[in-house]
Structures are given as C-alpha cells and as structure tokens.
Amino acid sequence: MPYDQTAMLNVLRPAVTRVLTPVGRVLARHGVSPNMITVLGTLGVVAAALFFFPRGELFPGALVITVFVLADLLDGVLARMNGSGSRWGALLDSTLDRISDAAIFAGLTAWCALSGQRVLAGVALFCLVAGALVSYVKARAEGLGMTCDVGLAERPERLVIVLVAAGLEGLGLPYVLAAGLWLLAVASAVTVGQRLRHVHRQAVAEP
C-alpha cells in the first residue's frame, strides 16, 4: 500500500484486513511477495476493464475489478507480515494504481463511444485525465517538500463512485453511470483546484 492513506481507506482497512489476514499468511508461507500481489492485481484490473467494459458488460466488469482492487489491501497485509515494505514497493504500488485507473476509465470511454454516447465518452476521458492530475499534484508537492493531503475526491472515493455506478448501470438502472461520471468530473476538477490552492498557500508562506 502507499504510505499516504485516505480517511475512507482507514475506515475500511481494519475490517478488510481481518478478512485478508488468513489469505496473507498462506501466501507468505508460499513465498509470495507484496510486489507480486500488486502486479497481479493491476493486471487483473486492466484485463477486466478492457475486456468487459467496451463490450457493455458493466456489472461483471465492475465486480471482477472490485475483487482485484482488494489486492491494494492484500499487498499491505503481506508487507506487514514479513516486514518487506519499502519505498520501492510504495512507488510501484502508486505507479500501478495510475495504470489501473487509466484502464477503468479507458474501458468506460470506449463503451460510451461505441454506444453512441459521445458526450459521456468525453466526460469519462476527462475523469481519466483529472484523476491523474489529482495524484500528480500531490506527488509533485511532496517531492518539493510540501504537504498535499487535501481534496474532495481521492482515489478510494473515485473508485467507489465509478465502480458502483458502472455496476448499477449494468444491472439495468439507467443514467446511473452518467450521473456518476459527471459527479466524478466535477469532484476531480474541484480536488485539483483544492490541492493547487493548498500548495500555493504553503509556497507563498515560505520565507
């Protein structure tokens, strides 16, 4: 797991960790490393997003992706068990998170475009770019020695919204995905602005 945990993830992590701990023990005994779990989880998300979503199979896609997203917690469980957490692992995890997010929104963009929903395809593409910017601003700020733990829509919130919206749309509830994507587009744009403002305040306060 990355070292920067969001409030939502901190709320969910204890319960999910209790479920995943026995799985982590089995994997640790067989020499499976946290980085292997991170890579496999990302491959699963990418494959599911690019296979199911463009075909319009939104519910199974969202379900399979959710299962693989749990690897984001399982790799942390393994790292704590064998003390193998590292800066390299944190960097790898954060980098692969960006790939997973891109695949999810690329798959949805493809489905929207193929189904004739060009405006919604543009919104999904905007969500992809804005989500990357949210993460980039924080990483760049921390690289410059400033904090950036602010924002309306961090990664866990974005994943919950898009996967729930896609899953419900796949179950036949109309307009849910459109509402979710528009909500994410606005929330992501606001988050980028919040983070830039937060960093700017720190920069101008420096002697």
Q: Among all residues, which ones are annotated catalytic?
A: 97
Q: What angle do CA 127, 132, 135 make, to 5 degrees?
A: 125
- Say if CB 155 and CB 135 are below 8 A apart: yes
- Say if CB 192 and CB 137 are below 8 A apart: yes
- Say if CB 43 and CB 71 are below 8 A apart: no
The amino acid at 177: L
- How far, in Å, are 3, 130, 196, 204 from residue 192 at the CA level? 20, 7, 6, 18
- Say if CB 34 and CB 84 are below 8 A apart: yes
What's the token pair of residue 197? 């403002």
Entry field: residues in the chain: 207
